[in-house]
């Protein structure tokens, strides 16, 4: 394995932090971006010139372009870009404020799309590279009380399903990482909670809120962030980028059930789907068979 150079967003905690620490420890160079530069002080003191860092809020597209430009200018070549920054807005859709919805989409969805748009010209110019997008099992299945979060993760999955094909001819690979619940700040400090409405108090949004605020015992998340980060790094070391990396027993089980249910429902509706084709198309098709 030859050492690589990485560009990671959201490196103050969770997966982004674990990735950055593990990469620096093995001798890779990392351009780490955070909202608060002080979060990188300890890693800067320990790893010196292996760490390049800059302040970046991924909702600030103008700043993002400058930071990306500077990172490529200073580091010369960046092998892997990890689009990791994100958080969850928890609660029922009608409980959320307009600002909460805008911020959720601006961070998880638009922020990831704009990062892709900022780095692709550089990766193309250098002859290729790899983009690793933190999606979620919540980009394949959906749980109650997380509708806005799921909208961003299903959204980024749709973006990459299309955009990955556009950039493949330039040697740029894309991997969607789909972890299940993991022990980061995601369900604690970084989560954004909607303003509670009494109508939802005894339903999923109210129950989830009580778990997050400690009023009710919370379910333990299975995912170990250090193991998840190690699996992401290993995936980047293998020859061809995997299209998806589903990580965690909960992710595997829920995505399996979700995909099976969708396929079963689709197949049950085959005749209805075919019935809406225009007559000339249906006849031509029947003549072909
Ligand atoms: N943990 C899970 O259960 C889980 C499961 C599936 C997917 N994910 C995904 O994994 C990714 C990382 O989350 P995590 O679990 O590691 O949570 P985390 O510990 O809360 O880390 C999230 C990181 O994103 C940063 N961030 C949030 N908003 C930002 C913004 N506007 N601009 C720049 N940075 C921002 C945070 O920075 P600050 O310190 O400045 O807030 C932090 O560094 C997210 O995309 C999340 O959706 C998490």
**In the prediction, which pLDDT does 55 show?**
98
Probe residue for ligand 1, chosen from 54, 85, 140, 245 as the CB with the greatest number of ligand atoms within 8 Å: 85
DSSP bridge partners of 1: none
Q: Are 60 and 82 a contacting pair, CB within 8 Å?
A: no
Contacts of 118 (CB under 8 A, 6+ apart): 61, 64, 65, 68, 69
DSSP 199: G
**Residue 195 alpha carbon to ligand 1 centre in Å:** 21
User: Is residue 120 pLDDT above 90, yes or no?
Assistant: yes
Strand (E) or helix (H) holding 133: strand 129-134
**Residue 170 alpha carbon to ligand 1 centre in Å:** 29
Q: Model confidence over 133-149: pLDDT tens digits?
A: 999 999 999 999 999 99
What's the chain's average pLDDT? 97
CATH 3.30.420.40 fits 5-247, yes or no: no
Task: Please state, for a pLDDT cut of 90, what percent of the chain lies above it.
Answer: 94
Q: What is the mean pLDDT of residues 267-289?
A: 96
Q: Output the CA–CA distances (angstroms, integers) from residue 217 to 209, 220, 236, in the order listed.
A: 11, 9, 37
> Confidence class of residue 212 from pLDDT cuts 50, 70 and 90?
confident
How does strand 89-90 pair with strand 172-179?
Answer: unpaired
- Which stretch of 13-27, 212-226, 260-274 has the lowest confidence by average pLDDT? 212-226
**In the prediction, which pLDDT does 204 show?**
95
Distance CA 205, CA 63 (A): 35
Residue nearest atom 28 in ligand 1 by C-alpha distance: 86
Probe residue for ligand 1, chosen from 87, 150, 220 as the CB with the greatest number of ligand atoms within 8 Å: 87
Q: Model confidence over 165-207: pLDDT tens digits?
A: 999 999 999 999 999 999 999 987 899 999 999 999 999 999 9
**Residue 32 alpha carbon to ligand 1 centre in Å:** 14
Residue nearest atom 26 in ligand 1 by C-alpha distance: 85
Distance CA 214, CA 186 (A): 15
State the closest ligand 1 atom to the C-alpha of 106, by its place in the atom list counted from 1: 31
For the chain, the structural domain boundaries read: 5-247, 249-289
């Amino acid at each position: 394995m030859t050492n690589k150079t990485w560009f990671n967003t959201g490196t103050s905690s969770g997966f982004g932090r674990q990735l950055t620490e593990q990469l620096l420890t093995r001798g890779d160079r990392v351009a780490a971006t955070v909202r608060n530069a002080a979060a990188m002080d300890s890693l800067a003191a320990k790893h010196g010139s292996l760490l390049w860092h800059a302040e970046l809020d991924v909702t600030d597209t103008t700043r993002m372009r400058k930071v990306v430009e500077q990172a490529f200018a200073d580091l010369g070549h960046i092998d892997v870009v990890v689009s990791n920054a994100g958080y969850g807005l928890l609660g029922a859709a009608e409980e959320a404020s307009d600002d909460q919805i805008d911020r959720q989409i601006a961070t998880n969805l638009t922020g990831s799309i704009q990062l892709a748009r900022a780095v692709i010209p550089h990766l193309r110019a250098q002859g290729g590279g790899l983009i690793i997008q933190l999606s979620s099992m919540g980009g394949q299945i959906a749980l109650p009380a997380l509708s806005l979060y799921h909208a961003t993760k299903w959204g980024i999955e749709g973006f990459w399903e299309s955009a990955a094909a556009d950039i493949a001819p330039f040697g740029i690979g894309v991997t969607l990482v789909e972890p299940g619940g993991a022990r980061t700040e995601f369900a604690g400090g970084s989560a954004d909670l909607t303003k509670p409405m009494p109508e939802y108090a005894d339903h999923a949004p109210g129950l989830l809120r009580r778990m997050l605020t400690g009023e009710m015992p919370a379910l333990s998340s299975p995912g170990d962030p250090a193991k998840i980060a190690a699996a992401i790094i290993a995936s980047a070391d293998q020859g061809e980028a995997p299209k998806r990396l589903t990580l965690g027993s909960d992710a595997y089980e829920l995505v399996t059930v979700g995909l099976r249910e969708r396929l079963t429902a689709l197949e049950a509706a085959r005749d209805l789907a075919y019935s809406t084709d225009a007559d000339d198309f249906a006849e031509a098709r029947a003549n072909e068979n």
